[in-house]
Amino acid sequence: MGVTLKNIASQLGLSYTTVSRALNNHKEIKPSTRKLVKETADSMGYVPNSIAQGLVMKKTKTLGLILPDITDGFMAELAKEIEIVSSRAGYTIFLCNTNWSKERTRDYVKKLIERRVDGIIMIPTSNDISFLEAALKYDTRIIFIGSNLKTINVTSIQVDNYKAIKIAIFHLLAKNKKNIAYLGGGKELFANEERFSAFKNILQNNDLFNPKLVENSHEIRKDGYLLVEELLKKQIKFDSIIAFNDIIAMGAIKRLKELNIRVPEDVAVIGFDDSPISRILGVELSTIKQPIEEMAKLAFDEVIKNKDNKNILLDPIFIQRSSS
């Protein structure tokens, strides 16, 4: 059995109440007594019961982080940055990987609320998040990253997708690339919906949109390798690709290289996220960088310090490399 407050009180000849207050820095306890109690607790190996403390303080110093795929470069980096900023403030993160499953997302939300986390930061797996209405009844603060779903009143933090796609398109047009294809990452994803909408709108305004140069996967994580295959089967000329993310972009480059289609001379390719994969496979990928450190800090601040819901748009950063 672990060391209890009663054990410490007995060791020091103090009351249970005095020991408890000393460990919680109560102002009525003398600094010297607080110091003695804490030193004794440490020497005896006392570990506070955070669950019990949370029930008393109505704050558990824990947060839930729900991500669709922790092997994804962008999400892995985001998780790392959120953990860093949370740890500095004394918070512990419960990391939940949904594997793109709406059912697992719903289950994790329920379990996190049962654990009385102080808030939840998440990337939704689809536009259907009606199950979160129940979570909001518990006054659990929820922050979305990468999605601004207007069907629910929560704070969202995302890169400006319209601006990002516009930058990518005009970069390609400056290179005289006018037959631009789009490789999407799943129609259910809000971010993909926004990026494709921007792509279509901007190209239509320039009389350059060709719906046949769009491969919007029915699967959340269909490989860009296969999407390029579908494009090539149509036998319609394309000289550039904008991909939903870096993984899809690099899959596309892999297939193009196998077919001796030169990148960027024959087909330029631009990804999204600036994940570590963008700098391997022999071709350094031009990409849209999301400001992950800023996203992480904002997400923590919004979930802990602020109560007003809002949509926060961040500026994208275009990184040109050899693929364009």
Question: pLDDT, tens digit, for every residue of 244-297?
Answer: 999 899 999 999 999 999 999 999 999 999 988 777 666 799 999 999 999 999
Q: Is residue 132 domain-shared with residue 197, that is, in the same domain?
A: no
Residue 191 lies in a domain: yes
Contact 96, 66 (CB under 8 A): yes
% of the chain beyond a pLDDT of 90: 63
Residue 323 lies in a domain: no
Residue 202 lies in a domain: yes
Task: Output the CA torsion 88→96→157→126 (10° steps).
Answer: 180
Q: Is residue 120 domain-shared with residue 194, that is, in the same domain?
A: no
Residue 321 lies in a domain: no
Q: Is residue 18 domain-shared with residue 114, that is, in the same domain?
A: no
Give the pLDDT band of residue 143 (cuts 50, 70, 90). very high
Q: Is residue 70 domain-shared with residue 129, that is, in the same domain?
A: yes
Closest CA to 247 of 268, 218, 277: 277
Residue 54 lies in a domain: no
CATH number of the domain residue 167 falls in: 3.40.50.2300
Q: How many domains does the chain have?
A: 3
Q: Is residue 195 domain-shared with residue 263, that is, in the same domain?
A: yes
Q: Is residue 184 domain-shared with residue 273, that is, in the same domain?
A: yes
Q: Is residue 173 domain-shared with residue 146, that is, in the same domain?
A: no
Residue 143, both tokens:
């922050």
Q: 């804490």: which residue's tokens?
A: 38
Q: Is the pTM of this model over 0.85?
A: no
Q: Is the dihedral of CA 216, 218, 220, 221 positive or negative?
A: negative
Residue 19 lies in a domain: yes
Residue 182 lies in a domain: yes
Query: Which structural domain range is residue 195 located in?
Result: 161-289
Give the pLDDT band of residue 220 (cuts 50, 70, 90). low
CATH number of the domain residue 17 falls in: 1.10.260.40
